Chain A
Amino acid sequence: MLAKSLSCSIIGIDAHKVDVEVDIAEGLPAFNIIGLPDTAIRESKDRIKFAIKNSGYRFPRGKITVNLAPANIRKEGSGFDLPITLSLLSGFGIINQDRLLEFAVCGELSLDGKLKEIRGALPMSLGLREKGVKKLILPKKNLVEVSNVNDIKIYTFDKLSSVIDFLNNKIAVEPQNKNIRLNTKCKSRYKHDFTDVKGQEHVKRGLEVAASGGHNALLIGPPGSGKSMLAKRVPTILSEMTIDEVLDTSKIHSVAGLLSPNKGLVLNRPFRDPHHTISDAAFAGGGSNPVPGEISLAHNGVLFLDELPEFKRNVLEMLRQPIEDGRIRITRVKNNAVYPCRFMLIAAMNPCPCGYFTDPKKECHCTPHQIQRYLSKISGPLLDRIDIHLNVPRLKYDELSGNRKGDSSEVIRKHVNKTRKIQEKRYKNDDILFNAHLESRDLEKYCVLNKEGEELLKMAILELGISARAYDKILKVARTIADLEEKETIEASHISEAISYRSLDRDFWMM
C-alpha cells in the first residue's frame, strides 16, 4: 500500500516542497524513515505511534518505509510528524488519498495526539503559496503568525483526531487566515521615546543624521552617560516598516523560533543587543543545520553592540562582509543557507579601559599603552564602515534636573522619512538605497559642494590631519545633512557638522 502527502522543509528562509511517501509492506513490523532526515525526524516514529494510538486509531501493522523526497536535500525539524502520520493513515485506508493530496501539511505531534507549533510556519506558507499550493494544514498555535498571509487557505487544528475527521469530511472547518491584504505601512508601537533621554542633544541629532542616511554610528563616552539608552531608542526614529520588511524580518524570526504564539508578525523594527561574550556562530548564524544569527535577527532594524572592544576580534571581523552585502551565506559541509541582514549598526564603547578618559571631572588612570591595546581591538576596516562617531559626555547637573525635552521620536521620524524619500528619488536609477552606500566614484556626481564648503573641507584636511578615507565619509554624511535641510548643494555648515562626527579621525586620543 502506497500513500503520499505533501509537506515542506525550510532551508535558510526559503521553503522547499517535500513529498512524504509511505509504503506499508508485508514483513516483520518495522518503521524506517529515509531521505536525509535529521534526528528530530528519525525520532518522530515514536511520537507518531503513540499519537495514533491515543487518538483512537490502531497503528497499522507492517513493514513501514517513509521516504522524504527529494532525497538529496536535508530535512530537519519536527514538522514532518503530521504529514507522515496522515500518509500512514491514508496508506491504511483511514483517510482518502486524493483528499489528502489537496493539502500541504506541517505539524509536530505530542504523544497524546495534540498538535504542537512548528518553527518557520510563516516562510512555509509564503513559500508554498509561491509554489502554487492552495491549501495548507497547520497547528492551531501557528495561526497568529500566518493569519495575515493571503491567497492561500490555511486550516489550523489542535489535535490529530480533528485533522482526520476534517479530511474525512466528518467536520467542516473554514480556512482561518484572514486573507486580507495588509496596508503597505504597518503601525509600529514602541515602548521608548527619545523624549525620555535628557540632554545629549547633539547625540540625538547625530543619530537622526545616521538614521536618515543609513549610516552606522559609534557612541563613545564614559560609563553611565546614556549610550545604551540612546541606542535603544534608534528603532523608534526609523521609518515605519513596509509590509515586505515586516514579512522578511518575521520570516527570519519564525525560522529562529522567536515569534511568540500570540504576537504574530514582527511589526516593530527589531533591536538586537547581543552580549559581548557571544560566539561566532550565534552572531553571524551557523550550525550544521544553519540557524540565523543576531545579525540576521536585526534585519531591517538595529544591531547594537555595547562595549564594542570587549567583543572577540573574530566576531567583529565577521561583520565586514554582511554590512556591505546586506546578507550572509552560511556554508557548512552538509548545508548552506542565505539569510538577509540589512541592519543599522550602532556600537558603543568607553574611550579607555577605565572609562573616564574624556571625562572632565574624573581622572583617568589608564596608561597610554593600556588605551592603545583597548582600541586596537577594533580594526581599521571595521571602523571604516562606521560613518558617524559621537562623543557622549557625562551630563551636567542642570541638564539632568532640567525639564527640557528634545523632539519626540515621532517628530524625528518625520524628518528621517522625508530625507529617505529624497534619497529614494535621487538614487532611483542606481543600485543605492542610502547615502551611506555611496561609492567614491558616485561622490563627484552626487556630493556637489559650494565654494565655502569646499574651502572649509580643504582647511579641515590640512589642519586636522584628516585621512583620505575620512574625506569620503565626511562627504557622505554632509550629503545626508544637506538632505535633512532639503538642499541640493552641500554648504559649509553641513561640512562642519559632518567633520564634528569624525572625532576618531581628529586624533581623538592624542596623548
Chain B
Amino acid sequence: MPGGNRAVGMQGEDAAARFLRRKGYSIIGRNVKTFVGEIDIVAKRDSFTIFIEVKARKTESLGPPYLSITNKKKRKLIQCALCYLKMKDIQDVPWSIDVISVEFDESSGRIKKMEHFEDAIEE
C-alpha cells in the first residue's frame, strides 16, 4: 500500500504530541524544517528545549520502532537540532533529544504501546 508508512508516521506523531501535552510539555512546532532535515516535534518544558523524534510502526516483524534509530540517524538529529537553535538564534539553553516509540495494533489500528526515552541521544 503506497503511502501507508507515511500515514502510520503521521498517526504516530499525533499520538506522541497528545501524549506530550498530557505530560505537561508545550509543543512549539511540528515537522519543523531545517536546512539539514526535518524535526518531528519541538517542545518545551521548564527551561528545556526538547527535540522529539517519533518512530511509529504497525508491524511487529521488524522489532520495536526505536531500534531503527541508527548512529547515522542520531548524528542527523543532532545536526537538525543545532541547525534549529541557530535558525532561531537560541543560545545557552539546555536542550535534549528524546525519542518516542509508538506501536499500533496491526488489525485494529489502536495504539498498543507508547514509550518515551528521555535524553535518548547523547553527544
A: residues with CB less than 8 A from B are 26-32, 61-63
A30 & B94 in contact (Cβ 8 Å cutoff) = no
Residue of A nearest to B92 (CB): A26
The one of A28, A31, A61, A62 in contact with B121, judged by C-beta atoms closer than 8 angstroms, is: A28
Q: Decide if A28 touches B93 in the complex (CB within 8 Å).
A: no
Asked if B123 and A29 sit within 8 Å, CB to CB, the answer is yes
A-chain residues with CB within 8 Å of residue B97 when the two chains form the complex: 28
Is B78 close to A, CB under 8 A? yes
Would you list 14 pairs from A and B whose C-beta atoms are within 8 A, ordered by A residue? Answer: A26-B92, A26-B93, A27-B94, A28-B78, A28-B95, A28-B96, A28-B121, A29-B96, A29-B119, A29-B122, A29-B123, A30-B122, A61-B96, A61-B119
Q: Which residues of A contact B96 (CB under 8 A)?
A: 28-29, 61
CB distance from A60 to the nearest CB of B (A): 11
**From A62, which residue of chain B is reached at the shortest CB distance?**
B94
Residues of A within 8 A of B119 (CB): 29, 61
Contacts of A29 in B (CB 8 A): 96, 119, 122-123
User: Bound complex: CA of A28 vs CA of B75, how far in Å?
Assistant: 12
B56 within 8 A of A: no
Least distance between A30 CB and chain B CB atoms (Å): 3
Nearest CB of B to A145, in Å: 37
Question: Nearest residue in A to B94 (C-beta to C-beta)?
Answer: A26
Asked if B81 is at the interface (CB within 8 A of a chain A CB), the reply is: yes
Q: Is the CB of B95 within 8 A of A26?
A: yes
| Pair B92/A28 contact, Cβ less than 8 Å | no
**A residues less than 8 Å from B92 (CB atoms):** 26
CB neighbours (8 Å) of B123 from chain A are: 28-30, 32, 63
Contacts of A27 in B (CB 8 A): 94-95
Q: In chain A, what residue has the closest Cβ to B47?
A: A26
A28, A29, A32, A63, most chain B CB atoms within 10 A: A28
Expressed in whole angstroms, the Cα–Cα distance for A63 and B81 within the complex equals: 15
A31 to B, closest residue via Cβ: B122
**Bound Cα distance from A29 to B117, whole angstroms:** 13
CA–CA, A27 and B93, complex, Å: 6
A26 to B93, CA, bound (A): 5
For B122, the chain A residues whose CB sits under 8 A away are 28-31
Distance A29 CA – B78 CA, assembled complex (angstroms): 11
Shortest distance between the CB of A192 and any CB in chain B (Å): 58
Chain B window 80-123, contacts with chain A (Cβ cutoff 8 Å), 1 for yes, 0 for no: 01000000000011111100000000000000000000010111
Q: Mark B56-79, 1 if CB is under 8 A from A, else 0.
A: 000000000000000000000010
Residues in A neighbouring B81, C-beta threshold 8 A: 28
CB distance from B4 to the nearest CB of A (A): 33
Q: Once bound together, how far apart are the Cα atoms of A26 and B95, in whole Å?
A: 7
